[in-house]
Amino acid sequence: MIMAISDENNDGQSIYYPSDEFKENAHISTMDQYKRLYKRSIEDPEGFWSEIAQDFYFKKGPNGPFYRYNFDIHKGPIEIKWMEGAITNITYNVVDRIIEKGLGERTAYIWEGTEPNQYRTITYNELRRQICKFSNVLKAKGIKKGDRVALYMPVTIELVIAMLSCARIGAIHSVIFAGFSGDAIAERILDARSKLLVTCDGCYRGTKYIPLKELADQAVQKCKAKNHYLAAVIVYHHLKEPASLSHSGNASKNEKVGGKNGLNVVKPIPSALGINGANGINNINGLKCNDNKNNEMKSMVNSIEVKNNSSNVTDKITEKPKEHPIIPWDPDLDFWWHELMNTADDHCEPVWVDAEDPLFILYTSGSTGKPKGVLHTVAGYMIYAATTFKYIFNYNGGDVFFCTADLGWITGHTVNVYGSLANGATIVLFDGTPFYPDAGRLWQIVDTHNVNTLYTAPTAVRSLMKYGDKFVKQYSRNSLKLLGTAGEPINEEAWAWYFRVVGNGRCPIVDTFWQTETAAPVISTLPGCTPMKPGSASFPFFGVVPAIVNDEGRELTGASEGHLVFKRPWPALMRTVDGNHKRFEYTYFTRFPGYYCTGDGCKRDKDGYYWITGRTDDLLNVSGHLLSTAEVEAALVEHPAIAETAAVSTPHNVKGECIYCFIVLKNGFDYSAQLETELKSQVRRRIGAIASPEVIHVASALPKTRSGKIMRRLLRKVARDERDELGDTSTLADDSILDELFQTRSIYA
């Protein structure tokens, strides 16, 4: 049934309403019902959340107030506590509890690889068995409650197993995005004081090979240089292609290293854990596999014909040659995942922990350039993640949920692991890109696995729009019931295409606003009841009290625009910056005492809808990922040619925002295409590909105040070519610099 669309309102804004058919199966089907639940969550938070907590298993209830907090720095240390003293285990609740409901043979995960029709599945029963085995592996390596474990892996079932194994034994996991450089990995290992690293030999993004083990080894060496030594590096054999080990350190007695002239030799290792075994069954891990890709190594470019079964359309794709990977190996430190798992016991009792014990650390960019270790705790996160997943995605038993987010981001943690499993969902994990082998890949996955809910980033929607409707309409997408977006605001054109073409005009779109710090959506559409305004995240979720304040911290009422803040915590709000509570207080609570400051601008319209307008601090939101201006600038200024630099964001048709860098060269250096390549490569190497500047603009100087502070506000105006909207420039030391930047903008932008 096509959803109803109202006439445009007085502001010319189209409003879309859920269909009667969708409402029939909605948990919340009217705005009155939403308002009643929301009112109770604000007026009686203890009653509201304690009732929800009854669905989960606790060995013991809280021994004091159900929750307490202080948001006012002038009244003492910032503090957030929920259910302190209660005893539970989150892995037990999201896996064992589901099995005990009789759902053990339900598929927990469908893993879709880089190549089409390469997939694996695992049930809740088998997931628990693998978690218990890896929990025992971690314990055998000396990991215990409170220890930190770094996980640097692509989107795999094994990463989920590693996360949940840490949680099962009370260890704290720190997942590091598999696109980060060796420097970025080392920085996070050192900051978290991680005792063990879990990684992979390598992975492919489309046809691009990512040498994960090599990058991990760079990080290990950097940690050693700072006297931080890991107990072990556990390596999952993810590659399907045959690979070789390149040894360092002492050889094990089973692997001869050093032939003639003392040169290292390489030892072939088998294809990935039997993934190409008889009948497509992975006999080592007991995971069902289906891999139709010919794995013979090619030394020349292959032409592949990809036949679309639903439309008989054949597209020709050129595949880049895949080189024989060489895997660096230190037998004194490195251990194969499958070898350790082969001998591990498949029973492991959960370690019962306090509700406020740490669950995970996840790093997000900070305005100082040093990433912040956002720390989330067990029970509040568990309850809020499960509740948002149930209501925002209108989860009903048996639904298949597909979120394209990497597990290295908070979206992946909450909707692909903890929140979804807590509801007994079947989750699709995608270890590829939406454009390989063609721009129909997401729609192929939707049809193959009968996906009911698709959740992705506006950047992906805008990127896929460029290819037109052809690739979408090659597939039926009849299984889809709900669409969603996260990571950044979505523009109305992209929203309309997503709704009209991808959803066939019948699927509601949930537009969700959240951050690493908030742990789960805090402002969102509810698909069965919220009239949708394209581009607006609409209304607050249960327990969330937003406000808009001006620059002086005065709370604004009615239709207004300013800084988005929150007046009280919900169960999953971050508790601290790991190891640096003062930084937590300074970053989020000093600018507007009494409020949690998001760092985002926001406007509220006359109907009470919230619209996120972008960052108000020195952070960049690129393709839904926050990056620090200081971090990008620090990477650039390391180059010997650079005297000074400043990075700002500017709108981008696909990414939403991109990085626009201004540089001042040292005397004796000239700008060239080679220097531009070097600078972009340096940022990629220091941070990762996501931080690579879109534009590098050379200047004789940067606009500064008389006290020497760079005026980034004016640089953002230059990047956006907004000469007529400069505002107050009375503190600018030299007006001529601004004129120069506007005059030369067309050369670089």
**How many whole angstroms separate alpha carbon 527 and alpha carbon 23?**
8
If one counts every other C-beta atom within 10 angstroms of the C-beta of residue 44, the result is 12
Beta strands in 274-425 (DSSP E): 281-282, 287-291, 302-307, 314-319, 326-329, 334-336, 353-354, 358-364, 372-377, 400-403
Where in the sequence is the domain holding 296, given as residue range(s)?
Answer: 116-255+266-353
pLDDT at 299 over 60: no
In angstroms, what is the C-alpha Rg of the chain? 26
Q: Is residue 303 part of a domain?
A: yes
pLDDT band, residue 308 (cuts 50/70/90) = very low
Contact (CB, 8 A) for 159 and 175: yes
Dump strand ranges (E) for 113-185.
118-123, 148-152, 172-175
- Evaluate whether residue 530 is within a structural domain: no
Residue labelled with tokens 């700072």: 226
pLDDT above 50 for 248:
yes
- Alpha-carbon span 233 to 152, nearest angstrom: 10
Q: Does the pLDDT of residue 275 top 50, yes or no? A: no
For the chain, the maximum distance between any two Cα atoms, rounded to a whole number of angstroms, is 83
**Quick check: is 525 in a domain?**
no
Name every residue whose Cβ is closer than 8 Å to that of residue 223 and which is 6 or more positions away in sequence: 186, 189, 190, 229, 230
Mean confidence (pLDDT) of the chain: 86
Cα separation, 182 vs 197, whole angstroms? 13
- Measured distance CA(489)–CA(449) in Å, rounded: 28
Place 726 in a pLDDT band, splitting at 50, 70 and 90.
confident
Whole-number Å distance between alpha carbons of 217 and 189: 12
Return the number of other C-beta atoms located less than 10 Å from residue 714's C-beta: 21
pLDDT tens, residue by residue, 668-711: 899 999 999 999 999 988 888 888 899 999 999 888 765 556 78
- Given this model, what pLDDT does residue 490 score? 86
For the segment 554-577, the average pLDDT, to the nearest whole number, is: 96
Strand-pairing partners, residue 419, are none
Pairing of strands 243-247, 326-329: parallel
Three-state SS annotation for 275-306? CCCHHHEECCCCEEEEECCCCCCCCCCEEEEE
**Structure confidence at residue 368 (pLDDT):** 52
Instruction: Quote the pLDDT of residue 633.
Output: 83
Strand-pair partners of 656: 652
| pLDDT of the residue at 283 | 32
Going by their DSSP bridges, the two strands 619-622 and 625-628 should be labelled as: antiparallel
> Is-contact 421 96, C-beta < 8 A?
no
The dihedral sign for the CA sequence 84, 86, 91, 94: negative
Tens digits of residue pLDDT in 387-444: 999 999 999 999 999 999 999 999 999 999 999 999 999 999 999 989 899 999 999 9
Mean pLDDT value across residues 113-141:
96
SS3 category, 128: helix
- Mean pLDDT for the stretch of residues 481-490: 92
Measure the CA angle with vertex 225, ends 223 and 226; round to 5°.
Answer: 65
Q: Is residue 26 part of a domain?
A: no
Are the beta carbons of 657 and 665 closer than 8 angstroms? no
Query: pLDDT-based confidence at 169, cuts 50/70/90?
Result: very high
Classified as helix, coil or strand, 644 is strand
440 lies in a domain?
no
Which pLDDT band holds residue 317 (cuts at 50, 70, 90)? very low
Strand partners, 112: 119, 430
Asked whether the beta carbons of 124 and 103 are under 8 A apart, the reply is yes
Query: The CATH number of the domain where 740 resides is what?
Result: 3.30.300.30
What is the pLDDT at residue 681?
Answer: 92
Percent helix, strand and coil across the chain, each to the nearest 5: 30, 25, 40
The sheet with strand 656-665 has its strands ordered as 642-652, 656-665, 695-698
* pLDDT band at residue 284 under the 50/70/90 scheme: very low
What CA–CA distance (Å, rounded) separates 238 from 683? Answer: 27
508, two tokens: 């509601």
Final residue before a domain boundary, out of 353, 383, 410: 353
11 lies in some domain: no
168 contacts 198 by C-beta, under 8 angstroms: no
Rounded Cα–Cα distance for residues 527 and 102 (Å): 29
Among 325, 353, 381, the domain-final residue is 353
Give the pLDDT mean for 129-142. Answer: 98
What is the pLDDT averaged over residues 278-300?
Answer: 32
Distances (CA, A) of 12 to 6, 15, 222, 533: 11, 10, 56, 11
Q: How far from chain centre, in Å, is Cα 546?
A: 23
The pLDDT of residue 279 is 28
673-686 vs 182-192: helix axis angle to the nearest 10?
30
* pTM reported for the whole predicted model: 0.80
Q: What total number of domains does the chain contain?
A: 2
Beta strands in 95-183 (DSSP E): 107-112, 118-123, 148-152, 172-175
Which of 192 and 562 is assigned the larger pLDDT? 192
Among candidate residues 746, 745, 719, 577, the one with its CA nearest the CA of residue 658: 719
Q: Residue 426 pairs with which residues in a beta bridge?
A: 400
Residue 213 lies in a domain: yes
* Cis, bond preceding 437 (omega within 30 deg of 0): yes
Residue 318 makes CB contacts below 8 A (sequence gap 6+) with: 301, 302, 303, 304
pLDDT reported for residue 252:
38
Q: What percent of the chain has pLDDT over 70?
A: 85
Q: How far apart are the first and last CA of the chain?
A: 45
Question: What are 341-378's pLDDT values in tens digits?
Answer: 999 999 999 999 999 999 999 998 765 557 899 999 99
pLDDT at 3: 56
Buried b / exposed e along 530-539 (16+ C-beta atoms within 10 A): bbbbbbbbbb
* Cα angle 717-720-724, degrees, rounded to a multiple of 5: 55
Nearest to 297 by CA among 267, 270, 323: 323
361-366-370 Cα angle (round to 5): 80
Lowest mean pLDDT among 293-297, 491-495, 681-685: 293-297
B/e letters for 45-56, b = 16+ CB within 10 Å, e = fewer, are beebbbebbeeb
**How much is the average pLDDT of 148-153?**
98
Lowest mean per-residue pLDDT among 477-491, 589-603, 620-634, 679-693: 620-634
Instruction: Kindly report, residue by residue over 584-618, the tens digit of the pLDDT.
Output: 999 999 999 999 999 988 999 999 999 987 777 66
Low-confidence winner among 218-222, 256-260, 376-380, 571-575 (lowest mean pLDDT) = 256-260
Contact status, residue 241 vs residue 324, Cβ threshold 8 Å: yes
Tell me the CB-side half-sphere exposure of residue 699, using CA atoms within 13 A.
28
Distance CA 483, CA 403 (A): 10
Which pLDDT value is given to residue 323? Answer: 58
Please state the rounded mean pLDDT for residues 110-139: 96
Confidence class of residue 281 from pLDDT cuts 50, 70 and 90? very low
**Domain at 295, CATH number:** 3.40.50.12780
Residue 578: is its pLDDT beyond 80? yes
Alpha-carbon torsion (57, 373, 237, 133), positive or negative: negative
Nearest to 412 by CA among 451, 456, 378, 370: 456
CA separation, residue 477 to residues 114, 450, 529 (Å): 20, 8, 23
Mean pLDDT of 123-127: 98
- Convert the pLDDT of each residue in 47-96 to its tens digit: 999 999 999 999 999 999 999 999 999 999 999 999 999 999 999 999 99
- What confidence tier does 667 reach under pLDDT thresholds 50, 70, 90? confident
Q: What is the mean pLDDT of residues 312-325?
A: 40
Choice between 337 and 433, residue whose per-residue pLDDT is larger: 337
Q: Choose one of 292, 325, 353: the last residue of a domain.
A: 353
333: pLDDT strictly greater than 70: yes
Judge whether 287 lies within some domain: yes
Q: How many C-beta atoms lie closer than 10 Å to residue 175's C-beta?
A: 28
| Strand partners of residue 208 | 205
Number of other CB atoms surrounding residue 737 within 10 Å? 17
How many C-alpha atoms does 347 have within 13 Å on its Cβ side? 0
pLDDT in tens, 197-233: 999 999 998 888 899 999 999 999 999 999 999 999 9
Q: In what order do the strands lie in the sheet with 610-615?
A: 555-556, 546-549, 560-566, 596-604, 610-615
250 three-class SS: coil
CA distance linking residue 222 with residue 182, whole number of Å: 8
